[in-house]
C-alpha cells in the first residue's frame, strides 16, 4: 500500500518500489511507531481533530496490533513499503477508513525521527548494561591480579614493571568513558521532534509538549526544519558504538598476543576458543580476533552516515533513510560481541608464573637507577646517562640488574651506592609508586574500587531509564 494516490495516474514501478522499500529493516521500529501514534492521537483528540469515540477504537486496535507483533502473529506483507505504511494498512484493516485520520498533522518525516530516537534511547541503554557488565568482569579479574607484577610496555618494549591488576583495569577505565558518553548522549537526544510534521509544524498539533511527555521525552526540540533533518543523534550513537568497538578491538589484540606461545600469559577456556580443522594442537582466540576485526564495520557504519549527511540540504531528504541500516548493524554487532568478550575474560586463566617471570627479565628497573640518583641531587639527564651505562654493562656481561654486586655498581659510578641494591627489584619498584596514579597494589585497588562504584551508578541509571521507558511506552 502506498500513502499517496490522488495526483498519480499509476503505481510506482517495481524497480522504484524495490529501491525505496525499507520494511525489511525498519519493521523493528513498529512498537515505537505505535507508541508515537498513540501520543499523536492524544494530540489530535485535544485539538478536536479526532472524536473521542473514534480515538478509542483506533487506540484499541493499535494495542491489539502491538500485541500481535510482540507475539509474532503479525508480520508485514509483501506490498508494505515501510513500517509506517504497514501499520496504517493493519490499522485500516481493523477499523476501516477512520484509521487514516492519524495522518492528520503528522508526516512520516517527524514520525521516523521520533521512532528512531525512542528506539535508540532504549537500545543504547541496553548496550550500556552490557558494557557495564564487561567493565565489572574486567575489574573483578583485575582485583585478583593487583599483586601480580608484570612488565609494562611502551612501543611494545619492556618499559617499567606494573601491577597486572592495573594493566587489566585500564580497559574498564576506557569502557567507563563509553558509559559516560552514552549518558550525555541520552540527555542531548531526549527531546521530541513529534509535531514537526513534514517540516513546518502543524496547525492541528498546537501543543507538542503533551505528546512528548507521553513518550517519556523531557522536552520538545526547538526548530521543526532542523528536527526532521538532524541525525546528529544517530551519528553520535554510531561514534559511541565505534569507540566501544575500538576499545574491544584493543582488548582483542592484547588477548591475541597474551595467548600466543611467545607470551603464554593467558589460557582461554575451551568454551571461548576454537580449534583448527587441520592442526590438532591449535587453540585459537577467535573471540579476541573477531573483536579486533569487527571494529572495522562499526567505523564503516559511522563513515557511511557522516558521508550521507555531509552537504545534505536541511529538512527531510530521502537520503536520510540511509541512517538506519548502519546503526542497526553496529548495535547488532556489539550485542553479539560484548557478551562474548565478557565471557572470554571472565573465564580466562592468567598464568601468573609466566607473567611474573617476564617481569624479572630485561631492564625494567633502569628508571629506578636514574630516580635513585635524582633524589640524591644528580640532575636527571646525568642520572639517565649513568643508568644507561649500567644497562650496557649488564648487556655486555650477560647480567641482570638484580645480579649486580656492590663493586660492579661502584665501578660504573661511585654515586651508585649499596642503598640502590634493594631498589633493584620489581616488587619494590611497583610498591614505591603510591600516588593515586601509581602502580602500587594499594593505589590500583583504590582506583579500581572508585571506578567500580561509578560503573554501578551508570548501570543503575540505565536500568532505571529502561524501566521508565518501558512503562511510558507500554512496551
Q: Helices (H) and strands (E) in the chain — how many of each?
A: 18, 6
Q: If DSSP codes are grouped into helix, strand and coil, which group holds residue 149? A: strand
Alpha-carbon span 32 to 114, nearest angstrom: 8
Compare residues 199 and 399 and give the one whose CB is closer to ligand ARG.
199
Contact in structure between 413 and 419 (CB atoms under 8 Å) = no
Place of cell 529502561: 466
8-state DSSP, 220: E
Cell (9 digits) for 263: 607470551
Among 30, 90, 102, 112, binds ligand ARG (CB under 6 A): 112
- Is 172 an interacting residue with respect to ligand ARG (CB under 6 A)? no
Active-site choice (276, 402, 403, 470): 276
Contact in structure between 358 and 266 (CB atoms under 8 Å) = no
CA atoms within 13 A of residue 63's CA, in its CB half-sphere: 10
Contact in structure between 372 and 358 (CB atoms under 8 Å) = no
Q: How far is CA 55 from CA 51, 88, 214, 388, 453, in A?
A: 6, 14, 16, 83, 47
**Vertex 96 angle, CA 95 and 98, to 5°:** 85
- Give min distance, CB of 202 to ligand ARG, in A: 15
Compare residues 91 and 387 and give the one whose CB is closer to ligand ARG.
91
Quick check: is 276 catalytic? yes
Q: How many residues bind ligand ARG (CB under 6 A)?
A: 9
- Scanning residues 121 to 140, which ones bind ligand ARG (CB under 6 A)? none
- Give min distance, CB of 72 to ligand ARG, in A: 23
- Give min distance, CB of 109 to ligand ARG, in A: 5
- Give min distance, CB of 30 to ligand ARG, in A: 13
- Give min distance, CB of 449 to ligand ARG, in A: 46
Alpha-carbon span 334 to 130, nearest angstrom: 9
Q: Which helix (H) or strand (E) holds 209?
A: helix 208-214
Question: Which among 153-161, 318-326, 338-346, 430-438 is the span making contact with ligand ARG, rule CB under 6 A?
Answer: 318-326
Among 69, 244, 298, 320, binds ligand ARG (CB under 6 A): 320
Compare residues 221 and 291 and give the one whose CB is closer to ligand ARG.
221
- Cα of first residue to Cα of last residue in the chain, in angstroms, is 26
- Give min distance, CB of 111 to ligand ARG, in A: 7
Alpha-carbon span 209 to 233, nearest angstrom: 20
Alpha-carbon span 301 to 298, nearest angstrom: 5
Compare residues 37 and 166 and give the one whose CB is closer to ligand ARG.
37
Alpha-carbon span 180 to 200, nearest angstrom: 34
Binding string, 381-420, against ligand ARG, x = CB under 6 A? Answer: ----------------------------------------
- Scanning residues 257 to 316, which ones bind ligand ARG (CB under 6 A)? 316
- Scanning residues 321 to 360, which ones bind ligand ARG (CB under 6 A)? 321
Compare residues 142 and 309 and give the one whose CB is closer to ligand ARG.
309
Quick check: is 171 catalytic? no
Active-site choice (155, 277, 435, 436): 155
Compare residues 306 and 399 and give the one whose CB is closer to ligand ARG.
306
- Scanning residues 3 to 22, which ones bind ligand ARG (CB under 6 A)? 22
- Give min distance, CB of 112 to ligand ARG, in A: 4
Binding string, 26-45, against ligand ARG, x = CB under 6 A? Answer: --------------------
Cell (9 digits) for 250: 584493543
Q: If DSSP codes are grouped into helix, strand and coil, which group holds residue 206? A: coil
Q: Which of 231, 131, 119, 118 is nearest to 174 (CA)?
A: 131
Compare residues 112 and 150 and give the one whose CB is closer to ligand ARG.
112
CA torsion sign for 414, 419, 421, 426 is: negative
Compare residues 173 and 316 and give the one whose CB is closer to ligand ARG.
316
- Scanning residues 45 to 84, which ones bind ligand ARG (CB under 6 A)? 82
Binding string, 80-109, against ligand ARG, x = CB under 6 A? Answer: --x-------------------------xx
Contact in structure between 356 and 430 (CB atoms under 8 Å) = no
Buried b or exposed e, range 270-283, using 16+ CB within 10 angstroms: eebbeeeeeeeeee
Taking each helix axis as running N to C, give the angle between helix 83-95 and helix 108-143, from 0 to 180 degrees, rounded to the nearest 10.
Answer: 120
- Give min distance, CB of 82 to ligand ARG, in A: 4
- Give min distance, CB of 315 to ligand ARG, in A: 10
Question: Which among 64-72, 119-127, 317-325, 344-352 is the span making contact with ligand ARG, rule CB under 6 A?
Answer: 317-325
**Vertex 108 angle, CA 211 and 95, to 5°:** 75
Compare residues 321 and 454 and give the one whose CB is closer to ligand ARG.
321
- Which residues contact ligand ARG (rule: CB under 6 A)? 22, 82, 108-109, 112, 316, 318, 320-321
Would you name the residues annotated as active-site residues? 155, 276
Amino acid at each position: 500500500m502506498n500513502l499517496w494516490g490522488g495526483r498519480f495516474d499509476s503505481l510506482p514501478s517495481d524497480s522504484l518500489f524495490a529501491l525505496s522499500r525499507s520494511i525489511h529493516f525498519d519493521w523493528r521500529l513498529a512498537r515505537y511507531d505505535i507508541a508515537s501514534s498513540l501520543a499523536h492521537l492524544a494530540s489530535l483528540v485535544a485539538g478536536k481533530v479526532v472524536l473521542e469515540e473514534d480515538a478509542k477504537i483506533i487506540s484499541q486496535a493499535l494495542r491489539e496490533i502491538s500485541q500481535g507483533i510482540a507475539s509474532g502473529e503479525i508480520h508485514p506483507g509483501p506490498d508494505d513499503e515501510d513500517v509506517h505504511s504497514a501499520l496504517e494498512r493493519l490499522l485500516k484493516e481493523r477499523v476501516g477508513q477512520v484509521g487514516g485520520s492519524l495522518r492528520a498533522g503528522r508526516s512520516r518525516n517527524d514520525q521516523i525521527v521520533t521512532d528512531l530516537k525512542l528506539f535508540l534511547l532504549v537500545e543504547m541503554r541496553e548496550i550500556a548494561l552490557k558494557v557495564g557488565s564487561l567493565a565489572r568482569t574486567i575489574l573483578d579479574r583485575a582485583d585478583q591480579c593487583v599483586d601480580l607484577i608484570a612488565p609494562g610496555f611502551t612501543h611494545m618494549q619492556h618499559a617499567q614493571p606494573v601491577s597486572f591488576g592495573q594493566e587489566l583495569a585500564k580497559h574498564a577505565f576506557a569502557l567507563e568513558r563509553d558509559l559516560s558518553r552514552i549518558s550525555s548522549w541520552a540527555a542531548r537526544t531526549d527531546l521530541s521532534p513529534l509535531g514537526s510534521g513534514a517540516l513546518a509544524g502543524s496547525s492541528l498539533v498546537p501543543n507538542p509538549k503533551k505528546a512528548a511527555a507521553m513518550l517519556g521525552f523531557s522536552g520538545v526540540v526547538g526548530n521543526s526544519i532542523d528536527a526532521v533533518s538532524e541525525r546528529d543523534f544517530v551519528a553520535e550513537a554510531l561514534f559511541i558504538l565505534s569507540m566501544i568497538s575500538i576499545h574491544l578491538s584493543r582488548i582483542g589484540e592484547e588477548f591475541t598476543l597474551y595467548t600466543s606461545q611467545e607470551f603464554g600469559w593467558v589460557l582461554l577456556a575451551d568454551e571461548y576458543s576454537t580449534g583448527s580443522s587441520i592442526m590438532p594442537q591449535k587453540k585459537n582466540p577467535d573471540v579476541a580476533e573477531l573483536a579486533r576485526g569487527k571494529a572495522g564495520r562499526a567505523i564503516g557504519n559511522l563513515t557511511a552516515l557522516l558521508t550521507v549527511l555531509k552537504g545534505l540540504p536541511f529538512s527531510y531528504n530521502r537520503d536520510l533513510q540511509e541512517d538506519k541500516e548502519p546503526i542497526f548493524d553496529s548495535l547488532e554487532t556489539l550485542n553479539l560481541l560484548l557478551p562474548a568478550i565478557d565471557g572470554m575474560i571472565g573465564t580466562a586463566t592468567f598464568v601468573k608464573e609466566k607473567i611474573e617471570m617476564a617481569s624479572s627479565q630485561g631492564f625494567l628497573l633502569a628508571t629506578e637507577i636514574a630516580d635513585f640518583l635524582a633524589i640524591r641531587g644528580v640532575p636527571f639527564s646525568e642520572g639517565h646517562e649513568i643508568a644507561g651505562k649500567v644497562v650496557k654493562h649488564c648487556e655486555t656481561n650477560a647480567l641482570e640488574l638484580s645480579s649486580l654486586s656492590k663493586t660492579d655498581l661502584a665501578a660504573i659510578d661511585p654515586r651508585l651506592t649499596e642503598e640502590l641494591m634493594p631498589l633493584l627489584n620489581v616488587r619494590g619498584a611497583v610498591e614505591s609508586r603510591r600516588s593515586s596514579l601509581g602502580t602500587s597494589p594499594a593505589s590500583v585497588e583504590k582506583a579500581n574500587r572508585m571506578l567500580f562504584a561509578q560503573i554501578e551508578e551508570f548501570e543503575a541509571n540505565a536500568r532505571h531509564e529502561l524501566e521508565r521507558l518501558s512503562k511510558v511506552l507500554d512496551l
